[in-house]
Amino acid sequence: MTHLSVTHPLPLERLQLNSEFDGTFGSNRNSGNGLLINAQNDLEALNSWLEEFKDSPQTYRNYRKEIERLLLWSLLVLNKPFSSLNRDDLRAYEQFLASPTPAAQWCGPRRPRHSKEWRPFLGPLSETSRHQALVVIGAAFGYLSDAGYLLGNPVKLLRRKRAKSTNNNTVERFLEQELWSHVWSFIEELPEKSLREREHKARIRFLFHLLYLLGPRVSEVANLQMSDFRETRGKWWCYILGKGNKREKVPVNNSMLLALIDYRRFLDLSDLPTADEHTPVLRSLKGNRGVSSNMIYRIVKKLFNQTADSLEIQKREQAFKLRKASTHWMRHTAMTHLADIGVDLHHLRQTARHNDINTTSRYLHADEERWHKSVGKHKI
């Protein structure tokens, strides 16, 4: 079916487009040689880009959401393929994001992607969300241009305003020390009466040791193997396979090493892993299988929500923040707390495994503290 027969937008995987709308004759298509991806139409090209993020499920879903929305808008509103979009179209799309209309067609409550009630939007997007949408779309167009599928990236022609910010570009999606202490106390107080409860608590404790002491991304935790913990010259390191398929080491301190030993003892394993122990670090409760990124994300979200429930009455603001938190907040929390205790910026960058030290500097909040303290001297 063509998009013209669709009353409401459909998820990416359910779209079937004929040559008029699949980008075969897109005005921005590169008809020459040099195609670096196996893509004959827009859907194949966009899926090629999305495949680059399959090892990071949360990023994949966010990027798919943004590119899916634009594609559907292009088809249903402009009646043109994705590969015919130009600079003026994208400016119009940015305005559409502020008020997706007609609302009944575009907006609705969260529903499974297979549901007839599924819609691309929950409602209008804020200025910050619109800015982020264009950043993601620009990345997609850049990839397809570099791959030789498109002639150019129309997002580059947009005069972009920086999203409004009051935090001087520092990371704000982290748990303050007090809030983190509440989370850890909640973990320590989890019940241990049944075997199932003991298994759940052992895994939760170890997972949060990993997240807080090593600062990995959720996909990196899912891919971590016991053999990735190695001893070199009397020091233990964890070799994490991260972005760009690069394996980089981070220090394993005594607290992390003891947590590893405790978890392995619970699993009836020897205290320390061997170099040929190519088994998942984090195990399912049903056996020796590993745990997926999506499952890790859900485990962390559930724990945060349970902790928030326990704080709701006495610490309402902290409970509200915790409900917004996700797995990646733990990475930000780990790096922020390392910066707070004075870890050198160079070593902080190595631990975070950032290519750009400017990315790492977002975790430095000490100057904010001094700034606030100095202004506090100003009195009436």
Check residue 224 and give its pLDDT: 95
Cα 333–chain centre separation: 14
In a domain, 373, yes or no: no
Angstrom CA distances, 295 to 13, 68, 78, 114, 305, stand at 22, 24, 39, 20, 15
Rounded (10°) angle between helices 127-146 and 42-51: 100
* Domain identity same for 151 and 242: no
Co-location of 212 and 284 in the same domain: yes
- Sign of the Cα torsion 73, 76, 79, 81 reads positive
Tell me the pTM.
Answer: 0.54
322 by Cβ neighbours in 10 Å (0-12 / 13-18 / 19+) ranks as buried
Does residue 371 lie within any of the structural domains? no
Q: What is the CATH number of the domain that holds 262?
A: 1.10.443.10
d(CA 347, CA 344): 5
From residue 76, give the alpha-carbon distance in Å to each of 1, 8, 70, 101. 13, 9, 10, 12
Q: Which two tokens stand for residue 26?
A: 């897109």
CA distances for 233 relative to 36, 230, 253, 273, angstroms: 44, 10, 14, 16
The domain of 55 spans 3-157
Residues 10 and 150 grouped into a single domain: yes
Q: What is the pLDDT of residue 128?
A: 78
Helical residues (DSSP H) of 52-148, grouped into ranges: 57-73, 87-98, 103-106, 127-146
Same domain, 292 and 227: yes
Sheet containing 235-241, strands listed edge to edge, beginning at the edge strand earlier in sequence: 229-232, 235-241, 247-251
Domain match, 197 and 115 both: no
Output the CA torsion 323→325→327→328 (10° steps): 170
Residues 141 and 240 in one domain: no
Does residue 380 lie within any of the structural domains?
Answer: no
**Smallest Cα–Cα separation from 211: which of 184, 235, 246, 186?**
184
- How would you write the pLDDT of the chain (380 residues) with one tens digit per residue? 344 444 578 998 888 888 888 888 999 998 777 888 888 999 999 999 998 888 778 778 888 999 999 999 999 999 999 999 999 999 999 999 999 999 999 999 989 999 989 999 999 998 878 888 888 898 889 889 988 999 998 988 886 554 444 444 555 788 998 999 999 999 999 999 999 999 999 999 999 999 999 999 999 999 999 999 999 989 999 999 888 788 899 999 999 999 999 999 999 999 999 999 999 999 988 777 899 999 999 999 999 999 999 998 888 889 999 999 999 899 999 988 888 887 777 788 888 887 766 667 666 665 555 555 655 665 55
The answer on 128 and 232 residing in a single domain is no
Q: Count of domains in the chain?
A: 2
Report pLDDT for 134: 87
**The pair of three-digit structure tokens given for residue 194, joined into one six-digit string:** 């049944």
Q: Are residues 182 and 113 in the same domain?
A: no
Report the pLDDT value the prediction gives residue 303, as an integer from 0 to 100. 95
Which residues share a beta bridge with 63? none
* Residue 165: CB atoms within 10 Å: 11
Q: 99 and 44: one domain?
A: yes
Is 307 found in the same domain as 338? yes
Chain-centroid distance, C-alpha 62? 8
